[in-house]
C-alpha cells in the first residue's frame, strides 16, 4: 500500500530544518510511509507577519532538500495579509517546488479574505488546500484552550468556505477534533475532504467518516512529530473498513487532489 501523509511539521523536533526532516524520514521508513508533506516552520506562529511567513516557508524549502522526491512542501499563508500570501504562493508554488496551501489559525476560514487565495490556487491547479479546524468547548476565547481563538476555524467555517468555491476541494484538517460533530458539520458539502490527524486514535472515527461521506472524501494525515506517526496510522489501518477504502484514505485521495499540479509541474505521482 502506498501511504502518503498530508500533514507533518518541523516544529517539535530538534535540529536544523534538514535534520528534522531526516529524522522524520527515518520514522516514515519504519512505518512504510512513502511520502509526506511538510508545512509551517520550526516554530508555530499563529498569526504570522509577512516576514514570519517567508521565514517559515524558507525553512520548509530547506527541509525538503533532505529528499525532494519523498518530501514536498505546502506553502503557509495568512489571509490577514492577502498580498503577502499571494506573493508567497507565487514564490513557493508557482515558481518553487511546493504543491499546495496550508492555512492555520490567523483568520476563520469562512472569512472572505480567503477567497483570493483559494481562487489563485485553483487557477494554478494547486488544488490541495488544507485548513486547520478544531472544536473547543468552554467558550472563553481569551483563555488559551478554553474556546476557539478568534481566528481558529471550526468545520462549519470550512463548510461555508467550500460552498463559495464548489469546484475546489477544501481539506478539513482534524475535522474539528470532536469528530462526531465535525463530520456532521461538513458531510453535506461534497467538496470538503475530511482529514483525520491530530486526535486520539479512537475506534469508530474513520469508520464514521467513511459511512457518512464515503472513503473517497477521507484523507490520512499524522501531524507528526506533534503526534506519533504509529498511533495516527493505526486509526486507518485498524479501522473496520475494506482494504480498497484504506488505500484511498492512506494515499489514493491525496494523489487525486495533487494530480493537476503534479501534471503541471511534470512530477511523478
Range 241-260, binding Zn ion (CB under 5 A): none
Which one among 223, 224, 225, 254 touches Zn ion, defined by CB under 5 A?
A: 223
How far lies 110's CA from each of 82, 165, 183, 191, in Å? 15, 11, 17, 15
Stretch that binds Zn ion, among 81-89, 123-131, 217-225, 227-235 (CB under 5 A): 217-225
CB-facing half-sphere around the CA of 11: CA atoms within 13 A:
12
Are residues 20 and 12 in contact, defined by beta-carbon separation less than 8 angstroms? no
Residue number of the CB closest to Zn ion reads 223
Are residues 259 and 250 in contact, defined by beta-carbon separation less than 8 angstroms? no
For Zn ion, the closer of residues 223 and 245 by Cβ is 223
Stretch that binds Zn ion, among 86-94, 222-230, 247-255, 260-268 (CB under 5 A): 222-230
For Zn ion, the closer of residues 38 and 257 by Cβ is 38
Stretch that binds Zn ion, among 46-54, 56-64, 155-163, 219-227 (CB under 5 A): 219-227
Taking the complex as a whole, the smallest distance from the CB of residue 226 to Zn ion amounts, in Å, to: 6
Residue 94's CB is within 10 A of a number of other CB atoms, namely: 18
Buried/exposed 16-46: b ≥16 CB within 10 Å, e otherwise: ebbebbebbbebbeebebebbbbbbbbeebe
Distance CA 110, CA 152 (A): 10
As to burial, measured by CB atoms within 10 angstroms (0-12 exposed, 13-18 middle, 19+ buried), residue 76 is: buried
For Zn ion, the closer of residues 125 and 225 by Cβ is 225
Stretch that binds Zn ion, among 120-128, 210-218, 220-228, 247-255 (CB under 5 A): 220-228
**What is 151-182 written as a DSSP string?**
T---HHHHHHHHHH-TTS-EEEEGGGSSHHHH
For Zn ion, the closer of residues 44 and 262 by Cβ is 44
Range 116-135, binding Zn ion (CB under 5 A): none
For Zn ion, the closer of residues 157 and 223 by Cβ is 223
Taking the complex as a whole, the smallest distance from the CB of residue 196 to Zn ion amounts, in Å, to: 12
Q: Is 152 in the site for Zn ion (CB under 5 A)?
A: no
Grid coordinates given for 62: 530547506
Taking the complex as a whole, the smallest distance from the CB of residue 102 to Zn ion amounts, in Å, to: 8
Size of the residue set binding Zn ion (CB under 5 A): 1
Contact footprint for Zn ion (CB under 5 A): 223
Amino acid at each position: 500500500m502506498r501511504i502518503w501523509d498530508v500533514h507533518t511539521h518541523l516544529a517539535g523536533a530538534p535540529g536544523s530544518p534538514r535534520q528534522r526532516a531526516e529524522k522524520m524520514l527515518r520514522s516514515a521508513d519504519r512505518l512504510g510511509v512513502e511520502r509526506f508533506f511538510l508545512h509551517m516552520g520550526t516554530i508555530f506562529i499563529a498569526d504570522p507577519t509577512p516576514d514570519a511567513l517567508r521565514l517559515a516557508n524558507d525553512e520548509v524549502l530547506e527541509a525538503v532538500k533532505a529528499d525532494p522526491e519523498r518530501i514536498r512542501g505546502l506553502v503557509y499563508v495568512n489571509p490577514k495579509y492577502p498580498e503577502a500570501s499571494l506573493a508567497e504562493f507565487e514564490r513557493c508554488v508557482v515558481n518553487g517546488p511546493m504543491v499546495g496551501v496550508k492555512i492555520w489559525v490567523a483568520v476563520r476560514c469562512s472569512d472572505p479574505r480567503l477567497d483570493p487565495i483559494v481562487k489563485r490556487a485553483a487557477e494554478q491547479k494547486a488544488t490541495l488546500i488544507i485548513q486547520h479546524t478544531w472544536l473547543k468547548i468552554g467558550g472563553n476565547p481569551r483563555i488559551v484552550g478554553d474556546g476557539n481563538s478568534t481566528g481558529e476555524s471550526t468545520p462549519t467555517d470550512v463548510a461555508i468556505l467550500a460552498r463559495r468555491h464548489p469546484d475546489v476541494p477544501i481539506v478539513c484538517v482534524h475535522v474539528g477534533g470532536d469528530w462526531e460533530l465535525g463530520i456532521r458539520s461538513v458531510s453535506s458539502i461534497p467538496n470538503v475532504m475530511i482529514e483525520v490527524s491530530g486526535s486520539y486514535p479512537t475506534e469508530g472515527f474513520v469508520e464514521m467518516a467513511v459511512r457518512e461521506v464515503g472513503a473517497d472524501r477521507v484523507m490520512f494525515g499524522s501531524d507528526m512529530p506533534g503526534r506519533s506517526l504509529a498511533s495516527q496510522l493505526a486509526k486507518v489501518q485498524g479501522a473496520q473498513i475494506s482494504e480498497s477504502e484504506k488505500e484511498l484514505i492512506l494515499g489514493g485521495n491525496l494523489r487525486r487532489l495533487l494530480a493537476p499540479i503534479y501534471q503541471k509541474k511534470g512530477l511523478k505521482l
